[in-house]
Each structure stands twice: as structure tokens, then as C-alpha cells.
Amino acid sequence: MISMCPNSRNLEIEVDKEGIKVYKIEKAPISKTEKRLQIDRKDWTNGPVELDIRIKSIEPTFKNENETLESLILQVSDIGAAKEPEEEFWLDVEEELGIIKTGSEIKLNGNKPAKTNLIDFVSYLIEKGKLSKKDLPVSSGYKRYLINTEPTNKEGKEMSSAIEINDGIYLESKFSRNQIKDKIRELGKRFGIKKGM
């Protein structure tokens, strides 16, 4: 894995037949000439390299008159390690639903009621193929179901406030704002990084 550089705005990545080299470009304090310092390297023999980068420009270098490509130099504005599946999941949730996870905290989309955030989140899990009828029921305590194939709890009684999310998938929606945050976090942990995406 290529390491992340704190000031990644002055970086170049060189890709050649051997692997990848990362250079930091610095200006000399007196002469103001640019110096290219290698700060990281990964050979192809160690397997593929996963990076999250923003490319400003690409400059090819050629080996000879036959125009044989020797390497590519990528000037990048940002570089970092590839994101973990859980991080990718929550970034997608934020982009699509406006629900943000920071550490273990959930921030609901303030433009919608808390209950709508929960409905949207469960719908999102279904649409992305992360939650289906075969995963049901999903418990919420020892007497209740959070999600079920029927609008009933574990004792066979009607859910307090059932909403049919999808054909034959019911969500218990009677929770406080803080409980909804907890439910979204729990559902994200359980179903967020499995299948689908």
C-alpha cells in the first residue's frame, strides 16, 4: 500500500514496468528549483496497488525513438489509501440519503423527520440488495421485530406503527430520535458491507 502524504498537493506518481513510485516535489528555499524526492514505492511483485487519487495531469516518458512507453508520471492533487468497504458504504449513504456516520455517531438528515430517515435507510438497504426477505425477521429487543415479513411482533401481535417498505417487508417505526439513530447504526453494521455494493 502506498502511504498517504500529509501535504499531497505536491506529489507525483510514476508508474513503470517495475511498480509504482511516489515522489514529493519541493522547492529549494534559496534557488527555488524543484527537487523530486522519492517518498514511497511498491513493486508489482507484491500484488495490485489500491489508491484513492485525484489526477491533475499525466505525462508519458518514452524509452526510444520507437515510441516505446517507459513510464507514466501522474501529477496528483490528492492521494490516500483505498477506502474500507464500511467507509465506502457510509459515504454512499451520506451522498444518497444525507445520513452521516462519524465514528460511532449517526447524524440524521435534518431536512426530514427522524422516522423518514429510518424508512429511507431500510429502503436503501433493500434497493442495494443488502437486505431481503430471507434476512427477516430482524429483532428489536426480546418482544419486538424491527423488520418482518408481516406487520407483527414476536408474540404475533400487531406492530405499534408498521410501515410497509416493500412488498411484504414491514418496518416498526415507533421509536424516539435517539433510538432511530441506534437502529440505523445497528442495521448499517449488520447489513451495510455485505453483498450488494
Domain boundaries, given as residue ranges, for the chain: 8-81, 85-191
Q: Is 32 left (phi over 0), alpha (psi -120 to 50) or beta?
A: left
- Single out the residue of 97, 123, 122 nearest to residue 112, CA to CA: 97
Summarised one tens digit per residue, pLDDT across range 128-185 is: 999 999 999 999 989 999 999 999 999 999 999 999 999 999 999 999 999 999 999 9
Q: Inter-axis angle of helices 177-191 and 114-127, to 10 degrees? A: 10
Summarised one tens digit per residue, pLDDT across range 110-119 is: 999 999 999 9
**CB-count exposure of residue 132 (10 Å: 0-12, 13-18, 19+):** middle
Summarised one tens digit per residue, pLDDT across range 70-95 is: 888 877 766 665 567 888 899 899 99
Higher pLDDT, 14 or 52: 14
Q: What is the pLDDT of residue 173?
A: 96
Q: What is the pLDDT of residue 78?
A: 63
Q: What is the pLDDT of residue 5?
A: 39
Beta strand pairing call for 11-16 and 19-27: antiparallel
Q: What is the pLDDT of residue 3?
A: 37
| pLDDT of 21 over the 60 cut | yes
Q: Is 114 helix (H, G, I), strand (E, B) or coil?
A: helix
Q: What is the pLDDT of residue 168?
A: 94
Q: What is the pLDDT of residue 37?
A: 84
